[in-house]
Every structure is written in structure tokens, then in C-alpha cells.
Amino acid sequence: MSHESVGAGGGPEKNSTFRVLMQRNFAPYFLGNLLSSSGTWIQNLAQAVLIFRLTGSTFLVSLVTFAQFLGVVVLAPWTGSAADRFDRRRLLMLTQIAQAAVVVALAIVTYFDVVNAAWLVGAALTVGVAKAFSVPPQQALVPQLVSRQDLQSAVALNSITFNLGRAIGPLVGAAIIATLGFTWAFGINALSYMAMVVALLMVDVPEHEKPARGVRPKLLETVRLVRHDPRIGPLLVVVGLVAVAVDPVNNLTPAFSVEIYGRSDTYTGILTGAFGLGAVIGAALIVARARASFRGIAIAMAAVGAAIAAFGLSTEGTVGLVALFVAGMAFITSVSLATTVVQMEVAEQHRGRLMALWGVAFLGVRPVASLIDGSVATLVGLREAAILMAIPVLVGAVFLARRAAAFPHTEAYHRRS
């Protein structure tokens, strides 16, 4: 086993972020991914608003969300193996085209005013299946686009696209729905998928190591690897715990805006935007310069839990705004650093399957977290729901900090040779 650090003191080099952003291979990918992520958030808002207008049912709104992420969990045994067996760029392009086709169909039925709840749930489920096959190759593709010393900055920039899309997409989507209608919202999302396809055509991706001919990689092999690795397993748990902790940002902010802060429901956009802005700034200023270590990730996890708990206890909108801004910074720091260590640790032949497990941890917990969050908020109270979601990540932070003391050699990320 060889231990090698990246940059000074095990962290990235000082100007790595800007250097990576200007690289011929990474720049098109970054822009295409940003456009695609923004389009996805436009779609998320449009389908949620449309199904609520058609049915007035919050259950069906939740069902659409559930359908979106179901495929990530159910199809994980196949999606990760596909990312290891096949060309990742081509697989990612096919999934983008498939999602665009579904969304175009949704735009057409909306234009002719024949759309209904079944169409919306079915479209979300179908897009979710394609999304499930896109997550592992997309995450596994990042290390192929940059050098080893630039990986942490590349992971941070990859995270920026998602969170910047989360900040931009809903605002743009609301304006499109109000002025042009749902058909345009769906159509623009379809174009955003094609922007990603164009970006992938522009990059030069080196061939990744594939299994021997006739050998079919199995997810169970990677699960065994995770179970016996003292670093990778805990870090996947980190990703899941942080994803659970920030669920109130999506589900509780509308009620907090109206019932706790006494503001209009549109204040929800400002609250969620503050979280997204915090995540973008955190990725640009903290993640790209921080040292990827268990101790640093544990500190960021504790900050996530404390910020979400502060949001739950807040009585004034400005306090909630600041709390979610801090939560966004801590969220992106913990997830990006954990993902960096995972990417550095995993052997290439397992990367696609491990990223499928990463997708389950990051996206697959969302439906369950939403059900818990919403149920507690309804039965007990909003504040109690937010605080409850913060507890697991705080416990996880203590566990990881103790793990760092038990495994001091993990304090600088490295790769086994």
C-alpha cells in the first residue's frame, strides 16, 4: 500500500480550482453539467406545481418525488456494473438523450392540454430510471477528466454545478411558468439535457480499465469491499447522514416561511436560495483548499447538524436565512471531501459500482427522509421535525471524529497501489 498526498499537506494546490475550470477537458463538462442541473431543477418545480394544480394533492406531489429517486435504489445492482463494463461517456450521453425524449413527450401532452397525474408520475418514474443509469458513470467520469492532483478541486466543481443549479433553476423555472407556461419549462429542460450531450462530445475521455471479457462485475463484490474497508464504508454513511440532515431545506421551508416567520410562501425561494448560495461559496472557498481528512469531514458534519438545528429553533426569517446559508457551506464541504476520499481510495475496476452505492446514499435516502420529515412535522411540529433530522448527522460526526483518532493514517487521502 502506498500513501500519496495531493498538494501541500495532503490538500489541493492553491490555484487548482481555477486551473481545473479552465482545462480543455473539464470546462465543457462543467458548463454542460451546470446547464443540465439547472434544467433539472426547472423540471422539478414545474412538475410539482403542475400536479398540485391538477389535483390539489400533496400526496401526489410527494409521489412524484418518490418516483424520481426510486430507480437509484432499485436499479443500483445494474447501474454501477454498467458504468464499469461500458464506455462511461457514451452511457452518459444515452441517458441524457433518453431523459430529453421523455421530457419532450411531457411537453407535448402539456401543450395539447391532455396531461394528467398519471402522465406526470410516469414521466418522473421513467426519467428516474434513466437518471439511475447516469449517476454512476457521471461520478466515475470526473477522475478521468483531470489529473490526480486536481481531483479534489474537480469534485468540488462538480458539486458546485448541482448546487448552483439548485439556486438558479427554481427561480428561472418560476419565471418561465408565470410568463410562458409549463410547456416551455419542460422544453427548456429537454434542451439542457442536449447541452450536456454536446459537452460530452467535446471532451476527450481516456479509456478506463474494464473487466476481462466475459466477466460481469457484480455489485455484491463492491459491497464486500466497502464492508471491509475502514475508510470507504464510513464515508458512504457520511454522505447518507448529511443528505438526511438537509431534507428540511426542501420540505419544511414553505411551512416555516408562513407559519413561523409570518412571511409569504415565496420566501421559501429565498431560504432555499441561501442554502444553494452557501453551498456554492463553500465549494469555491473551503472545499477546494481544505485537507480531505476524517477530522475535517467530522467538523463539517457537526456544522451541518448545528445549522439545521438552529434553523429549527429560529423564530425570525433572517436568522433562518443565515442558518441555511451556513448549512449549505457545511453540507458541500462534508459531501465533497467525503466523495474525494472515496474517489481516491477506490480501484478503477470498482469505481462505477461504488458510485452507484454513492448514489443510493446521496439520493436514495431522500424519499424515506421526506416521509419521516413530513410525518413528524404533521404529527408533532415543524421545529421538532427539523431538530430530529439534525440528530443523526451530529451522532455521525462524533463517530467519525473517533474513527479519525483510531485511524490516523486516513488523515491524508491516499490510494492503494
CA 181 to chain centre: 27
Indicate if 50 and 192 belong to the same structural domain: yes
Last residue of a domain, one of 174, 205, 236: 205
pLDDT tens digits along 235-256: 888 889 999 999 888 778 878 8
Q: Which residues of 192-219 are buried (b: 16+ CB within 10 A; e: fewer)?
A: bbbbbbebbeebebeebeeeeeeeebeb
12 lies in some domain: no
CA separation for the pair 394, 359 (Å, rounded): 22
Least confident of 273-282, 302-311, 380-389: 273-282
Least confident of 105-119, 211-225, 305-319, 382-396: 211-225
409 has a pLDDT exceeding 50: no
30 lies in some domain: yes
Listed in sequence order, the residues at least 6 apart from 408 whose beta carbon sits closer than 8 Å to its beta carbon are: none
**Greatest mean pLDDT range, 45-59, 96-110, 232-246, 346-360:** 96-110
pLDDT tens digits along 322-345: 999 999 999 988 988 888 888 777
88 has a pLDDT exceeding 90: no
Indicate if 380 and 260 belong to the same structural domain: yes
Indicate if 41 and 170 belong to the same structural domain: yes
Supply the CATH number for residue 284's domain. 1.20.1250.20
Indicate if 201 and 254 belong to the same structural domain: no
199 has a pLDDT exceeding 80: yes
What pLDDT shows up at residue 185?
93
Last residue of a domain, one of 175, 205, 235: 205
Least confident of 108-122, 161-175, 187-201: 161-175
- The grid cell for 124 is 418522473
Number of domains in the chain: 2
CA separation for the pair 317, 32 (Å, rounded): 35
Indicate if 32 and 53 belong to the same structural domain: yes
9 has a pLDDT exceeding 60: no
Listed in sequence order, the residues at least 6 apart from 72 whose beta carbon sits closer than 8 Å to its beta carbon are: 79, 128, 131, 132, 135, 359, 360, 363, 364
411 has a pLDDT exceeding 50: no
**Whether this model's pTM surpasses 0.75:** no
Indicate if 93 and 234 belong to the same structural domain: no
Q: What is the mean pLDDT of residues 252-271?
A: 80
Listed in sequence order, the residues at least 6 apart from 243 whose beta carbon sits closer than 8 Å to its beta carbon are: 335, 361, 362, 363, 365, 366, 369
The CB density around residue 290, as the number of other CB atoms within 10 Å, is: 21
Q: Which residue has the higher pLDDT, 415 or 233?
A: 233
Residue in this structure with the C-alpha cell 433518453, named with its chain if needed: 98
Least confident of 136-140, 287-291, 305-309, 369-373: 287-291
382 has a pLDDT exceeding 70: yes
Indicate if 201 and 235 belong to the same structural domain: no
Region of 211 please: left (phi>0), alpha (psi -120 to 50) or beta: beta
Q: What is the mean pLDDT of residues 59-73?
A: 78
CA separation for the pair 159, 162 (Å, rounded): 5
Q: Which residue has the higher pLDDT, 412 or 161?
A: 161
CA separation for the pair 285, 156 (Å, rounded): 10
DSSP letters along 172-199, please? Answer: HHHHHHHHT-HHHHHHHHHHHHHHHHHH
Last residue of a domain, one of 205, 229, 257: 205
What is the H or E stretch that residue 178 is in? helix 151-179
228 lies in some domain: yes
Average pLDDT along the chain? 81
Listed in sequence order, the residues at least 6 apart from 74 whose beta carbon sits closer than 8 Å to its beta carbon are: 132
Indicate if 79 and 129 belong to the same structural domain: yes
Residue in this structure with the C-alpha cell 410562501, named with its chain if needed: 265
pLDDT tens digits along 129-167: 999 899 888 888 888 888 877 877 787 788 778 777 877
pLDDT tens digits along 14-47: 456 677 888 888 999 999 999 999 999 889 878 8
Q: What is the mean pLDDT of residues 71-90?
A: 83
Indicate if 248 and 197 belong to the same structural domain: no
Helix boundaries (H) for 267-381: 267-282, 294-313, 317-345, 351-359, 366-379
Closest CA to 62 of 378, 389, 374, 384: 374
What pLDDT shows up at residue 125?
93
The sign of the CA dihedral 41, 314, 297, 287 is positive
Indicate if 254 and 394 belong to the same structural domain: yes
Please tell me the total number of residues recorded for the chain in this structure.
417
Q: Which domain holds residue 250?
A: 217-412
226 has a pLDDT exceeding 80: no
Q: What is the mean pLDDT of residues 211-220?
A: 56
Q: What is the mean pLDDT of residues 71-91?
A: 83
Closest CA to 333 of 361, 372, 292: 292
Closest CA to 217 of 122, 121, 352, 335: 352
Indicate if 134 and 245 belong to the same structural domain: no
What pLDDT shows up at residue 16?
65
What pLDDT shows up at residue 313?
96
